[in-house]
Amino acid sequence: AAFGAGTAVVAEASLSFLGLGVQPPLPTWGQMLASAAAAGPDRWWLLVFPGVMVALTVGAFNLMGEGLRQTR
């Protein structure tokens, strides 16, 4: 289940980035990445921080799942 949660985070962020996920009054990391990509390369930090948070969240879910698997 923990590995599936990481996949769900990436899927939601990907769909929101493409405009097919959660609609705009609700903030998502995918929408933040899409608006940062539209801002241009001179505002790189707008792209880096949501991207790093997606990666950290997926990594945390994967580490939690691996830790739970090893306790069995």
- Mean pLDDT for all residues in the chain: 90
Residues lower than pLDDT 50 in the chain: none
Euclidean distance between CA atoms 70 and 48, whole angstroms:
32
The whole-number pLDDT of residue 31 equals 92
Euclidean distance between CA atoms 63 and 1, whole angstroms:
12
Contact 17, 34 (CB under 8 A): yes
Q: Count, in order, helices (H) and strands (E) of the chain.
A: 3, 0
Contact 62, 3 (CB under 8 A): yes
